[in-house]
Structures are given as C-alpha cells and as structure tokens.
C-alpha cells in the first residue's frame, strides 16, 4: 500500500500484537471502523510483537488468519515502524485525508485517564 493509494483517505494505523488482550478487545472496532464511517477510511494494523514467539512470521500469519483480519497487516518484528512514541499495545494513530496526524491513543493512556 503506497502513499498514493492512501491519498485523500482517513487512515487508522493500529499498532497491535496478537497475544495482547487489549489489542484483541479492540479488534472488532478495527474491523468495523471503515464500514461505520461516512468518509473514505482505511485501517492498517501494524503487528509489533512484544514477545519472542510473536516475532515468528508463521505464528503471526496464523493469528491474523484465525482472527479473520482482512485489512493490511505489515509485520514489524524489529520495531522499525514502531516509534519511540509508542509504549503500549495497542496504539492507534489517526491520519486525516490531508496526511496530518489527528490523534494518537493507546489502551494504557485511556485506562489511566480520569474520565475512563
């Protein structure tokens, strides 16, 4: 998937890992988000493993298949996409149709906020 393909679309980049309970709890929302919005939206789920067994490509591929995830899932075993801004799983970045970051959220930040 290229920047040209994503131009003019709202993109949700979800950093997750298949054995994280918070990532799994969020998964139904990730799957439904493009259908529930009225804008042209795309979900990209970056699998950023926390544990050694999650780094195995076969394990990650099997999990994506078992979980019936159909949006693009780049595998980031070396955390080259995962940035120093990420500390928790899942972490969600929303990028607007003009390519600007609109919001960043993580399950840990949501759980620790006073309104949660």
pLDDT, one tens digit per residue, over 50-80 is: 999 999 999 999 999 999 999 999 999 989 8
On the 0-12 / 13-18 / 19+ scale of CB atoms within 10 A, 16 is: buried
Yes or no: say if 61 and 53 are a contact pair by the CB < 8 Å rule.
no
DSSP 8-state class, residue 78: T
User: How many domains does the chain contain in total?
Assistant: 1
Phi, psi at residue 9, to the nearest 5°?
A: -110, 155
Write down the pLDDT at residue 61. 95
Contacts of 14 (CB under 8 A, 6+ apart): 26, 30, 43, 44, 45, 46, 90, 91, 92
Span 25-53, average pLDDT: 88
- 105 within a domain of the structure (yes/no): no
- 70 within a domain of the structure (yes/no): yes
Nearest to 92 by CA among 39, 41, 40: 41
Helix (H) or strand (E) holding 24: helix 21-36
- 48 within a domain of the structure (yes/no): yes
The chain-wide mean pLDDT, for the chain, equals: 85
Write down the pLDDT at residue 110. 45
Give the integer Cα–Cα distance in Å for 95 and 28.
20
- 54 within a domain of the structure (yes/no): yes
- 116 within a domain of the structure (yes/no): no
For residue 53, what is the domain's CATH number? Answer: 3.40.30.10
- 40 within a domain of the structure (yes/no): yes
- 111 within a domain of the structure (yes/no): no
- Domain range for 64 is 15-90
């Amino acid at each position: 998937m290229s920047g040209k393909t994503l131009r003019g679309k709202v993109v949700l980049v979800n950093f997750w890992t298949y054995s994280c309970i918070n990532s799994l709890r969020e998964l139904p929302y990730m799957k439904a988000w493009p259908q529930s919005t009225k804008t042209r939206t795309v979900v990209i789920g970056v699998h950023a493993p926390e544990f050694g067994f999650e780094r195995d490509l076969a394990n990650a591929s099997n999990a994506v298949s078992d979980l019936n995830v159909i949006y693009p899932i780049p595998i980031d075993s070396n955390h080259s996409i995962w940035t120093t801004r990420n500390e928790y799983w899942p972490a969600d970045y929303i990028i607007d149709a003009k390519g600007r970051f609109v919001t960043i959220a993580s399950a840990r930040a949501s759980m620790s906020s006073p309104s949660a």
